[in-house]
Amino acid sequence: MKILLAEDHADIAGVIFDYFELLGHTMDHAVSGTQALSLATEQHYDVIILDIMLPKMDGMTVCRKLRETGVDIPVLMLTAMGERDDILSGFDNGADDYLVKPFDLKILEARVNALHRRNEGSVSAKLLTFDELSLDTSTNTATRRGCQFVLNPSMYIVLRLLMSKAPKIVTKEELSAALWGDDEPEGNVLRSHVYQLRNLIDKPFEFGYIKTVPKVGYQLVRTQGEGE
């Protein structure tokens, strides 16, 4: 199992990290909400252990943004707050389970295993489709008419968001938030990523999917040419 642990408390993170690594799991560690969001959108994980109180971006916001961008990885929230409203808020933002600190590591292991079993084998959670186009979120691979395209992290994030909301329009702001959070680079970098994606999945075929909605964003529809 591949697990992302988002926890800024070094001692707690160390104990959890070592415990699951000794069980044979592959672990990644994020110390801030922005780092957790970046890792979770660029890579595939079986389960995310997400602390609510994180610097730069709290766990509630991370979870909500993941769900908004189509990331369906099971999320277990860790919280020092046991109040009913906080727990309900976590579920409202897309969490699948929660555990209140302090907790027993065996209980945490059992909860993580339960979330993994519930999600394991769910093809819909790993494969997005739109017409002839499919996206395997476990391998970052797009497929169209038997042609496979391995996407770089930026192209993968753009395509997954477009496919998860298709045929609805995805605004430039939504795409920028998914790619960079609050640290959007200067210049029209988003347009460059979309151009690269078009060249890969649209240009070789007689019709495209990625349509530009002027001054708003992009959407997936059948278009003539390369989607302009």
Share of the chain above pLDDT 70, in %: 93
Report the distance separating Cα 45 and Cα 40, nearest Å: 7
112 and 17 in one domain? yes
Pair (10, 115) in one structural domain: yes
Residues 146 and 99 in one domain: no
pTM of full prediction above 0.85: no
Same domain for 180 and 103: no
Nearest by Cα to 10 from 35, 30, 40: 30
Q: How many domains does the chain have?
A: 2
State which residues form the domain around 141.
124-224
For 53-68, the DSSP string reads: S-SSS-HHHHHHHHHH
Beta strands in the chain (DSSP E): 2-6, 26-30, 47-51, 75-79, 97-100, 127-130, 133-136, 141-144, 147-150, 170-171, 207-213, 217-224
Among 103, 77, 111, which residue's Cα sits nearest to residue 7?
A: 77
Q: Looking at the structure, tell me whether residues 141 and 215 fall in a common domain.
A: yes
Q: What pLDDT band is residue 79 in, cutting at 50, 70 and 90?
A: confident
Strands 141-144 and 147-150: antiparallel
Question: What does the alpha-carbon distance between residue 31 and residue 12 come to, in Å, rounded to a whole number?
Answer: 11
pLDDT digit string, tens, across residues 187-197? 789 999 999 99
Last residue of a domain, one of 120, 155, 175: 120
CATH number at residue 172: 1.10.10.10
Q: Mind listing the pLDDT tens digit for each residue in 31-78?
A: 999 999 989 988 888 899 999 999 999 999 999 988 888 788 899 999
